[in-house]
Structure 1
């Protein structure tokens, strides 16, 4: 099978026969090295894969889809977003044929646009992902109507963190997702921080603690 996306990989640091998989998704204008820089801090049992978005913006600058802010509200290219979701599902199959991991223990973690993609993957393909980690992101309104409230969706483990001083994606987006998930019957682990559009030490510490607590649970 041909490689659908460029990526970096960190194999588990401990001997695990069937490790959980963590898929890292970067934000607009970044690349696979961005979130991968956190991999040394993340739980040692994980197989960690950081993927590169298919859309090239500039050298070492990529995205999952184009987004415009000309109206003051983000306007996205939905066709590109859907194509990126398709590529990521194909990428998961590619990983399955090249690495050993527990297919029932797959997590997706994204920052900004990567968080948006993580919501899309985890909620639209709930049978493929155990957990969603959304750092400074939002849930696309266009995808809400596509979510089917199944047992796989209701059992989703979800971590949401957002900075109250975020000027790129307002914290209101995170609050909106939390409220939406709670109306479905899902109770995400939700935290706000006095931070802008970035990941700080407290966010990372809370994320690691949450992951370590959740990864062994079914």
Structure 2
């Protein structure tokens, strides 16, 4: 996959990275724009979605909201899931990374949930920004992941993926016994300064 990378400006003994996945209809430049707001001792790596929607817009799988509920291609989701797993392994090897946190916004968060919760040994933690767990993939997820660290943020006024998705995910994650940091904000389908502040505090504590 094509990707953008920002190397840490503060060198530490342990090499850590954030691999961030954009939402549907966006591209690798989107979350890469947050580099100046993220910890300076992390690599920030942003890959481009596998499926082109045209006009510089990409997705991890096609999704249709016309019915009022998201209808998506499970086959494409599985294809992207395999590519993301492979990408994480390749980035670990190429940059000699000790810890990887996989995260994303909206559809990128969905992919981060699936990859991280189906293979929690692959990453140190996952970062979920305004997203949900796909019901269809739950049978493929592990039963418990007590070592996995999970940061979740969601807006209570989110009109794209309602807050109920986050609250359902919270209950599910608590059942998996992950190390959960859960946050709700008075915002829509977005990432605001408070989300970034809380994310930075969480990353600093890991």
Give the TM-score category using the shorter length: over 0.9
Equivalent residue, structure 2, for 1:175: 167
Select the residue among 47, 52, 59 that pairs with 1:63: 59
* Structure 1 stretches lacking a partner, 5+ long: none
Q: How do residues 26-175 of structure 1 correspond to structure 2 at under 5 angstroms? A: 26-102=22-98, 105-150=99-144, 153-175=145-167
Q: CA deviation at 1:47?
A: 1.4
- TM-score if structure 2 supplies the norm length? 0.95
Runs of 4+ in 1 over 3 A off after TM superposition: none
Q: CA deviation at 1:188?
A: 1.5
2:89, 2:191 → 1: CA distance? 29
1:148, 1:15 → 2: CA distance? 34
Q: CA deviation at 1:186?
A: 2.7
Structure 1 counterpart SS, 2:167: helix
Could you tell me whether the CA contact under 8 Å between 1:67 and 1:77 is conserved in 2?
yes
The CA RMSD over aligned residues, in Å, is 1.3
Q: CA deviation at 1:48?
A: 1.3
1:130, 1:90 → 2: CA distance? 16
* Structure 2 stretches lacking a partner, 5+ long: none
The size of the alignment, in residue pairs, is 206
- TM-score if structure 1 supplies the norm length? 0.90
1:210, 1:93 → 2: CA distance? 24
Could you tell me whether the CA contact under 8 Å between 1:18 and 1:100 is conserved in 2?
no
Structure 2 counterpart SS, 1:28: coil
1:24, 1:184 → 2: CA distance? 23
Could you tell me whether the CA contact under 8 Å between 1:12 and 1:19 is conserved in 2?
no
Bigger Cα displacement from structure 2, 93-102 vs 26-35 = 93-102
